Amino acid sequence: MTAYKLPPIDPSEITPRDLFQDRRRFMQLAAGASLSALLPHTVLAGEQLAGVTKSTDPLAAELTPYKDVTSYNNFYEFGTGKEDPTQNAGNLKTRPWTITVEGEVNKPKVFDIDELLKLAPLEERIYRLRCVEAWSMVIPWIGFPLAELLKRVEPTGNAKFVEFISLHDPEQMAGQKSPVLNWPYKEGLRMDEAMHPLTLLTVGLYGEVLPKQNGAPVRIVIPWKYGFKSAKSIVKIRLVEKQPDTSWMQAGPNEYGFYANVNPAVDHPRWSQAKERRIGDFLKRPTLPFNGYGDQVAQLYAGMDLNKNF
């Protein structure tokens, strides 16, 4: 992501470093250094999540190594560099933690995170994550459909959109001391997108409790949209009648739209979205419409001009 208030970076300036990193990763792979992806989950650092239904998704053959998933992150609350979150998120306090669900609902409720974890059976979901910066990963997330939570608060007929609000605490999140984005981080979905069974309320990955740099203790994952839609460390979910403003729309309205469906046919104003570099790969691969989930979600946008509603 390149924030609006930062000086724009010409992608040609960053390519050599990306290439260098990819070459290094390629050599590490060749040397077997990314063995962590092949080891059983029990040897990984971090607390295991119990009672998770395992996925049989064929994408399991393409998993991005645990090390990359947890050390190459976007989490601007902890800095704008890819290695900043893993270095700076360690002090984030994830207990106690509550999520307030409010707005256009009959039964507003404050959920304690440990109560939330037991609300519905935990499933492993292997999803592609496509970042708007044209890189991607394949991640075995753990969670349950957001719809399970939303049903419990009984949305009213006026609930047309859902707003997600991340934690705002500059003492814990030093990145919030600079105005890179309008804090707190805010994202949103249309109600039917939020209720779609692919939209995952996510509490873990690779068998473990969600690492802090990946958005502990709870985040959203929407696999057919660019990664920035997947707000991390959320404390509030608000059901509203009007389309909410999001932090990235406020930062660059011409660059980051509300829908943000992965779309190889609509370029970012400063770079192409036709291809992506899978982290760990040397060569780029074509980007798939809706990130490969078109069969499940394309009908949500029937009749909409996706050039305008980018």
- Which string of x and - marks every residue 12-51 that binds ligand MTE (by CB under 6 A)? ----------------------------------------
Q: Find, among 121, 105, 106, 144, the residue nearest to 237 by Cα.
A: 105
Residue 240 C-beta: closest distance to ligand MTE, Å: 19
Between 74 and 291, whose beta carbon lies closer to ligand MTE? 74
Q: Which residue is nearest to ligand MTE (CB)?
A: 227
Report the distance separating Cα 199 and Cα 164, nearest Å.
Answer: 13
- Which string of x and - marks every residue 130-169 that binds ligand MTE (by CB under 6 A)? -x----------------------------------x---
- Tokens 């979905």 correspond to 189
Report the distance separating Cα 231 and Cα 165, nearest Å.
Answer: 8
Told to check if 256 binds ligand MTE by CB under 6 A, we report no
Stretch that binds ligand MTE, among 19-27, 41-49, 69-77, 280-288 (CB under 6 A): 69-77
Which residue type occupies 284?
K
Q: What are phi and psi of 53, to 5 degrees?
A: -75, 120
> Which of positions 179-198 make contact with ligand MTE (CB under 6 A)?
185
> Which of positions 203-232 make contact with ligand MTE (CB under 6 A)?
214-215, 227-228, 230-232
165 CB-near residues (< 8 Å, 6+ apart)? 184, 185, 186, 231, 234, 235, 236, 237, 238
Report the distance separating Cα 208 and Cα 231, nearest Å.
Answer: 19
Residues that bind ligand MTE (CB under 6 A): 1, 73-77, 129, 131, 166, 185, 214-215, 227-228, 230-233
